[in-house]
Chains A and B, each alone.
Chain A
């Protein structure tokens, strides 16, 4: 608990909470029109009283756009990480718990998949399925699965050799009960830490995909898409890139700090 209250933990947790708050509450308080209303007389206007973060090339308010983009970016990243857990967790557990041929085949496949850069894999899947919001989630989710499966497998392997698992086996616990009652709860800390870190990477990946036009598509608005749109106006209106870039940075920074502290707390083997 004490370590959670370190400066790093407090800043990280506050940033994460702030972003979650904006993602959940933002759409209730901000009407979509406020982010899409074009003010042609105030195109690429700098930060001012009327538009505190300035406006983009169509005179749309960047403050409202970045607020509403939060939900898209967090939503995509969160669902993608969830997807990678849903696929990767069972694969990793089966591999680490049963070992033998299943493990050999699965981990050979996972190791090969790890040779494909995650962003490349996500880009290929998204381009092949046709870029849209749903396929961005699938692409990022699948691209992150090998990492997760690898970590889960290692943990399951470690836990499966613990004396208490042996004791449970001696008392006649069957495989399913063993996995649900003993393996799963004991690898959860690692999965949570990994999920936090993956979430940070997923936000970066979504931003990268959208930046290349192979992720979220207009009229949806995400941070990556906003940075992409800003490219042509960098000279005259650098804030169009700095505002969404700052949003990405703060979110990922928060998740990384929170993840670091979480790892220190949940994993006694790591001492910072």
Chain B
């Protein structure tokens, strides 16, 4: 019980810190929201009036307080470029991004775990060299480069999948999946490479341990030893790395969603940044950081489920 309370307190504190950092980073810019709304050529008096009415002359701490209060009460402000309340914008964007994040993670894990195990089992043989070199090449290419390759191959040359666009998973899941597949593949390939390397090194460490030798000596089949004994011990570290990669993934979606005109959170963040839509930047950056933090927390908790040696304190 005290563990849960501690965790909840810690989450609340971290959310406050995230909001402070978000607010601080978005307030270092020269120029302000009033200038954004009226343009740089506007009448200084009108500008001063707008500043006053927007509360931009208040001390930063007051502005911060107003922003946090707004977020807590469901008023996230209006986007300057889309001219609508930010809360209206977010729903579909979050669903669409969630779809490609989950899909790319699934693709990456499904391929990386067998590949990493395969490489570790055949350590220093050709299988290892092949799997490890592919993984190394995978981590060396930027995600948008994979994206361009996906567009060239699957959209242009083969014509199987659309290279741009989005559909809301809540209204038409099939269509949403079609649009999500290429961006997810582009994201998943880089991710897969990282996870393959991690799985391999975790498995190599475990296959050298005594209990593996004992299991073999007991006469268990190699398949049981590797997939039931060794992998069960490797899955924890791999999950932790996968959790950490979620942060990386949320950075990559900005580039990949933009490349595919896939209008999710990444695309929205990019539009906000490009147009210096400060309220929208604050909202998207806060949401992304909060989601990354919560997912990592979830992974920590899942770790306990897969590894009974770890107890909640």
**Interface mask (A242-259 → B, CB under 8 Å = 1, otherwise 0):** 000100111011001100
B293 and chain A: residue at smallest CB distance? A115
Interface hit among B91-99, B105-113, B269-277: B269-277
**Interface mask (B228-267 → A, CB under 8 Å = 1, otherwise 0):** 0000000000000000000111111011001100000000
**Interface mask (B114-144 → A, CB under 8 Å = 1, otherwise 0):** 0000000000000000000000110111111
B78 on interface, CB distance cutoff 8 Å: no
| Chain B contacts for A130, CB-based, 8 A | 30
Select B17's contact among A108, A208, A230, A250, beta carbons within 8 Å.
Answer: A108
A241–B148 contact, CB under 8 A? yes
Interface hit among B18-26, B43-51, B170-178: B18-26
B254–A119 contact, CB under 8 A? yes
- B33 CB, nearest partner CB in chain A, Å: 13
| Chain A contacts for B201, CB-based, 8 A | 272
Report how far A213 CA is from B258 CA in the complex, Å: 11
Interface hit among B219-227, B281-289, B300-308: B281-289
A115–B156 contact, CB under 8 A? no
Tell me whether A117 and B292 are in contact in the complex, defined as CB-CB below 8 angstroms, given that A109-B17, A124-B26 are known contacts. yes
| Chain B contacts for A183, CB-based, 8 A | none
| Chain A contacts for B100, CB-based, 8 A | none
Tell me if A's interface is mostly helix, strand, loop or mixed: helix
| Chain B contacts for A250, CB-based, 8 A | 140
B273–A234 contact, CB under 8 A? no
B28 on interface, CB distance cutoff 8 Å: yes
| Chain B contacts for A212, CB-based, 8 A | 254-255, 258, 270, 274
Select A124's contact among B30, B204, B247, B285, beta carbons within 8 Å.
Answer: B285
Report how far A257 CA is from B248 CA in the complex, Å: 21
Report how far A15 CA is from B182 CA in the complex, Å: 31
| Chain A contacts for B152, CB-based, 8 A | 234, 238
B158 on interface, CB distance cutoff 8 Å: no
B196 on interface, CB distance cutoff 8 Å: no
A160 on interface, CB distance cutoff 8 Å: no
A116 on interface, CB distance cutoff 8 Å: yes
B40 on interface, CB distance cutoff 8 Å: no
Tell me whether A128 and B28 are in contact in the complex, defined as CB-CB below 8 angstroms, given that A112-B21, A208-B142, A272-B204 are known contacts. yes
What bracket does the count of chain B residues touching chain A fall in?
35 or more
- A73 CB, nearest partner CB in chain B, Å: 12
| Chain B contacts for A119, CB-based, 8 A | 248, 251-252, 254-255
A37 on interface, CB distance cutoff 8 Å: no
Counting chain B CB atoms within 10 Å of each CB, the highest count among A124, A125, A208 belongs to A124
A245–B145 contact, CB under 8 A? yes
| Chain B contacts for A129, CB-based, 8 A | 28-29
A33 on interface, CB distance cutoff 8 Å: no
B180 on interface, CB distance cutoff 8 Å: no
B86 on interface, CB distance cutoff 8 Å: no
A115–B285 contact, CB under 8 A? no
Select A256's contact among B14, B18, B140, B269, beta carbons within 8 Å.
Answer: B140
Tell me whether A128 and B25 are in contact in the complex, defined as CB-CB below 8 angstroms, given that A120-B250, A253-B137 are known contacts. yes
Tell me whether A253 and B140 are in contact in the complex, defined as CB-CB below 8 angstroms, given that A117-B292, A120-B251 are known contacts. yes
Tell me whether A115 and B247 are in contact in the complex, defined as CB-CB below 8 angstroms, given that A207-B142, A208-B144, A249-B141 are known contacts. yes
A118–B251 contact, CB under 8 A? yes
- A13 CB, nearest partner CB in chain B, Å: 15
B296 on interface, CB distance cutoff 8 Å: yes
**26 CB < 8 A contacts A-B:** A112-B21, A114-B247, A115-B289, A116-B288, A117-B248, A117-B292, A119-B248, A119-B255, A120-B250, A120-B251, A120-B285, A123-B269, A123-B273, A127-B276, A128-B276, A129-B28, A200-B140, A211-B144, A212-B258, A227-B144, A227-B148, A234-B156, A241-B145, A248-B140, A248-B145, A257-B136
The 4 residue pairs across chains A and B that have the minimum distance between CB atoms: A119-B251, A117-B251, A253-B140, A252-B140
A residues near B, CB below 8 A? 108-109, 111-121, 123-125, 127-130, 200, 204, 207-208, 211-214, 224, 227, 230-231, 234-235, 238, 241, 245, 248-250, 252-253, 256-257, 260, 272
Extra contacts, 10 of them, besides A119-B251, A120-B254, A234-B152 (Cβ < 8 A), are: A115-B247, A117-B251, A124-B281, A208-B142, A212-B254, A213-B274, A230-B148, A245-B142, A249-B137, A256-B139
